[in-house]
Amino acid sequence: MSVWLDGYTEAKVNGQWQCIDFFQQDVKGRLRIVPCVTGQSLVKQALEWDCDWQYLMAPPGDLSDAVKKECTGDDGVLAGTENPRWRSWYVIDGKWFEKVDFSIPEYCGFFPRQEIGRQLSHPEEDSLNEDHMLSVEEYQELDTEAKKAYQYYEYTPPYGSRSILREFYQAVSARVQAFNRNLAWEDEDSAIGLRDVRVLILES
């Protein structure tokens, strides 16, 4: 079964969770939240494996008014209230954004030299096949002649998990920066950082 994820950014301001996502009007003129992350199974895999997200048994009781409105159907029922298995909620704590390190490549190992050459010449067209990568141990088991066909290479696929997470990080960072920019000078004490946010993921 296919899945779809929408992520909503909230920050704790003066003791309450407040949605800090961007908004836009839909074709009917209704103001809608622009999620900080959306996608299907590849996005779910990246967030689930790397973001330490936690499954919630029910929608958070302290959900911001904006997210609550966005995720409430025409029948007045908040998503996940009646059947949490069908509309599941997850949360990613803001501390993840402070500890993630995007300088670490997704794959480190020995790739065929010819494939590396093609990828470097056409990075947007040719991606390396991770199945062809050898670990250090596998490379050391090769004979001298076979080793010549391989080269150590650190690689992050342009559309892989690392790229998905980087775009996610950038989207949340942009929301934090926009929130702080729009604070009045007398409210500067309410400025937030990445550790002050949480991202609520609704799976449908």
CA distance 165 to 7: 13
Residues facing residue 23 across a β-bridge: 33
Q: How confident is the model at residue 148 (pLDDT cuts 50, 70, 90)?
A: very high
Q: What is the pTM of this model?
A: 0.84
**Residue-wise pLDDT tens digits, 84-124:** 566 899 999 999 999 998 888 889 999 999 999 999 998 87
Q: What is the pLDDT of residue 188?
A: 79
User: Is residue 103 packed enough to be buried (19+ CB in 10 Å), middle (13-18) or exposed (0-12)?
Assistant: exposed
Tokens found for residue 198:
């949480």
Return the closest-CA partner of residue 161 out of 77, 42, 72: 42
**pLDDT tier at 157 (50, 70, 90 boundaries)?**
confident
| pLDDT number for residue 160 | 83
Judged on CB neighbours under 10 Å (0-12, 13-18, 19+), 48 is middle
Which residues have a Cβ under 8 Å from the Cβ of 173 and sit 6 or more positions away? Answer: 97, 194
Residue 17's pLDDT is 96
Structural tokens at position 97: 């954004």
79: CB partners within 8 A, 6+ apart: 59, 71, 72, 73, 87, 202, 204
Q: Which two tokens stand for residue 136?
A: 């250090």
pLDDT in tens, 64-79: 999 999 999 888 899 9
Confidence at 1, pLDDT banded by 50, 70, 90: low
